Amino acid sequence: MPIKVAIVEDNEKIRDGLAALINGSEGFQCTAAYETAEEALRRLPAYNPDVVLMDIQLPKMSGIECVARLKDHDATMQMMMLTVYEDDEKVFKSILAGATGYILKRTPPAELLEAIRDLHEGGSPMSDQIARKVVKAFQEMGKSSKETENLSERELDILSYLAKGYHDKEIADHFFLSIKTVRTHLRNIYQKLHVRSRTEAVLMYLRK
C-alpha cells in the first residue's frame, strides 16, 4: 500500500509541486491538499492520511495550532512541518504541538520523500541544521528532569538509542528484539513521560 500523504500549504505553486512529486513517486500517494488550516481541520481527518506535511505560516490559524488540534483529534496522526523557518521557538512549539518531523522547504525532493517514509516507519526526521539547534538548545538549558526516572532499564536503553538517531529496526537488531516489541516499549515510554511523539520523548531525555 502506498504511503498516504496530505498537504497543508497556502502557496499554490508549492502545494501543487509537492502533490505532483508525491503522486509521481512509487510508493506514495497524495490523498488531500489544503490551502488553510481551517479547511484541513474540517476535511483532512476523513482521509486518514499516514503523514501530513504542514506549513507553519498559514493565512489565519498557524500550522502549529493546526497540528495541535489535529493531534487532539487523532494522536496517531504523523505530522511533519515543512517550512522555511529554522527559528528555535517555532521548532519547539511545533514539537510540543505534536509534530514528529521538521524539514526545510529547500530540502531536495529525494530527501523529502525519504523523510516521509522515515516518519511513516516510526522515525523523527529533521534536517541536520534543525537537529543541531534542538540538541544544542536543550544541552545549554541544563535543566534536570525526573520524568525519566519511572522508565525501566530497557526503556532507558531504547530511549538513549532514539536520541542518537537510530531507527526502530536498528534498535531491534541491536537489542535482539522484534520491531513489534520495540514499538511496544515506545508506547510505554510515551505513556510514562506523558508525551505524544518520539521527538518529545527524545527532547525530554536530553534534558535529564
Query: 65 or 190: which carries more pLDDT confidence?
Result: 65
At 193 the pLDDT is 74
119 touches 94 (CB < 8 A): no
The pLDDT, as a whole number, for residue 50 is 93
Q: Are residues 110 and 162 in the same domain?
A: no
Based on the domain organization, do 27 and 125 belong to the same domain? yes
Residue 78 β-bridge partners: 51
pLDDT in tens, 127-148: 666 666 665 655 555 444 556 6
Instruction: Please give the Cα distance from 96 to 82 (Å, whole number).
Output: 16
Q: Are residues 100 and 170 in the same domain?
A: no
Query: Are 120 and 182 found together in one domain?
Result: no
Degrees to nearest 5, angle at CA 114 with 19 and 59: 40
CA 21 → CA 18, 96, 134, distances in Å? 5, 29, 29
The whole-chain average pLDDT of the chain stands at 82
pLDDT band at 113, cuts 50/70/90?
A: very high
What's the DSSP call for residue 6?
A: E
> What is the tally of structural domains in the chain?
2
Type and span of the H or E element at 44: none
Same domain flag for 130 and 146: no
Host H or E run for residue 179: helix 179-193
Which of 136, 155, 183 marks a domain boundary? 136
Its domain, for residue 105, covers 3-136
Band the pLDDT of 105: cuts 50, 70, 90.
confident
147 and 132 co-located in one domain: no
CA–CA distance, 95 with 13 (Å, rounded to integer): 27
Residues 53 and 99 in one domain: yes
pLDDT recorded at residue 143? 44
> What pLDDT does 130 receive?
65
Query: Do residues 40 and 69 touch, judged by C-beta distance below 8 A?
Result: no
**CATH number of the domain where residue 86 is located:** 3.40.50.2300
Residue 131 CB partners (closer than 8 Å, separation 6+): 165
Buried/exposed code over 97-128 (b: 16+ C-beta within 10 A; e: otherwise): bbbbbbbbeeeeeeebbebbbbbbebbbbbbe
